């Protein structure tokens, strides 16, 4: 229907000289109009900066359970400011009659489709992701090869803060082709899996109990959520996986360090033997040749 209306508008405009065609679509800009447009852009920019700074600051001061709620409102607030700004600019420079709006929409869509295909694709992907809820502000996600906390959600891209304190900018259209792993999905807690290996002749039941004790005695553990130990046999060792939740997903690596130190101390007290990794035959042969 929009395409038909746009075609009809074009046919009607073909009978007019090009100057009259532009006059019918655009208003004649005055000095006051330009000033208002500049002021509108300045206010919009200031609001975007203020939203980012205010929400980041206040989210770090409120109780932890409210932090993610505040951060998750940022993309919607930014989108509202951008929509209002675009509408205001159109009101200043364009005659927003019904036929003009349809024609302008069609023209912009065609122009953007050819000139900014990848950019528009990122914007559309960002809008879809925003409402699908694949991830939100404050979530700890893995997108492609990158893992970190979502610290900013822009019009075209998302920014991750990695464990090494790098900020990685990822275009939204990456979500079309890459899987997204979300560790906490809007929750404050995220499961942490810590791997341990002991020798085959070690008492696996005793080691399992030591892992439970380490988790329940850690000051980072969220005791309301389950702690699970999984035991698996490997050719060269017994593999134990400790699954537990810290009270704050941000403490993921501090929590894992605390668990490893507690388990190592407990294993040392109980003289738990560690496995010896067999040396590959190729390496052994090379070592023998060098010794000769």
The string of pLDDT tens digits covering residues 71-80 is 777 777 887 8
Q: What percent of the chain has pLDDT over 90?
A: 23
Confidence of residue 89 (pLDDT cuts 50, 70, 90): confident
Would you say residue 292 has pLDDT above 50? no
Q: Residue 76: which region, alpha, beta or left (left: phi > 0; alpha: psi -120 to 50)?
A: alpha
Mean pLDDT of the chain: 78
Average pLDDT over residues 79-105: 73
| Domain shared by 230 and 164, yes or no | no
Residue 221 φ then ψ, to 5°: -70, 135
Please write down the long-range contacts of 27-36, taking CB distance under 8 Å and 24 or more positions apart: 27/92, 27/93, 27/94, 27/95, 29/93, 33/92, 33/93, 36/92
Average pLDDT over residues 82-99: 75
Contacts for 59 with CB less than 8 Å, ≥ 6 apart: 66, 67, 68, 70, 71, 138
| Domain shared by 263 and 167, yes or no | no
31 within domain boundaries: yes
| Domain shared by 21 and 99, yes or no | yes
276 within domain boundaries: no
**What is the rounded CA–CA span in Å between residue 44 and residue 49?**
9
Would you say residue 231 has pLDDT above 70? yes
| Domain shared by 120 and 170, yes or no | no
Q: For the whole model, what pTM was predicted?
A: 0.58
Higher pLDDT, 286 or 170: 170
Would you say residue 126 has pLDDT above 90? no
**For the segment 270-291, what is each residue's pLDDT rounded down to a tens digit?**
999 988 776 554 444 444 444 4
| Domain shared by 36 and 83, yes or no | yes
Check which CATH number belongs to the domain holding 145 and give it: 2.30.30
| Domain shared by 153 and 226, yes or no | no
Domain of 176 in residue numbering reads as 140-182
| Domain shared by 101 and 172, yes or no | no
CA dihedral 73, 187, 254, 219 (to 10 degrees): 120
209 within domain boundaries: yes
Counted domains in the chain? 3
Picking from 157, 182, 207, the residue at the C-terminal end of a domain is 182
| Domain shared by 16 and 103, yes or no | yes
279 within domain boundaries: no
């Amino acid at each position: 229907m929009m395409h038909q209306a746009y075609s009809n508008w074009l046919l009607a405009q073909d009978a007019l000289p090009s100057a009259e065609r532009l006059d019918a679509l655009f208003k004649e800009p005055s000095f006051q109009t330009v000033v208002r447009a500049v002021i509108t852009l300045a206010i919009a920019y200031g609001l975007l900066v203020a939203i980012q700074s205010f929400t980041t600051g206040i989210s770090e001061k409120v109780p932890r359970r409210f932090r993610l709620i505040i951060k998750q409102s940022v993309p919607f607030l930014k989108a509202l400011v951008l929509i209002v700004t675009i509408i205001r600019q159109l009101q200043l420079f364009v005659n927003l009659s019904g036929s003009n709006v349809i024609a302008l929409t069609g023209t912009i869509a065609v122009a953007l489709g050819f000139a900014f295909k990848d950019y528009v694709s990122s914007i559309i992907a960002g809008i879809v992701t925003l409402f699908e809820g694949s991830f939100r502000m404050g979530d700890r996600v893995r997108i492609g090869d990158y893992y970190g906390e979502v610290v900013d959600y822009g019009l075209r891209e998302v920014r991750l803060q990695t464990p090494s304190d790098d900020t990685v900018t990822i275009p939204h259209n990456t979500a079309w082709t890459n899987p997204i792993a979300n560790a906490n999905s809007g929750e404050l807690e995220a499961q942490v899996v810590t791997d341990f290996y002991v020798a085959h002749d070690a008492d696996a039941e005793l080691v399992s109990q030591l892992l439970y004790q380490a988790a329940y005695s850690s000051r980072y553990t969220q005791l309301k959520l389950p702690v699970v130990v999984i035991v698996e046999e490997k050719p060269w060792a017994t593999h134990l996986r400790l699954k537990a939740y810290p009270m704050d997903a941000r403490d993921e690596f501090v929590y894992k360090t605390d668990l490893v130190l507690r388990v190592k101390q407990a294993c040392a007290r109980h003289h738990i033997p560690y496995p010896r990794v067999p040396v590959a035959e190729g390496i052994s042969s090379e070592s023998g040749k060098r010794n000769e």
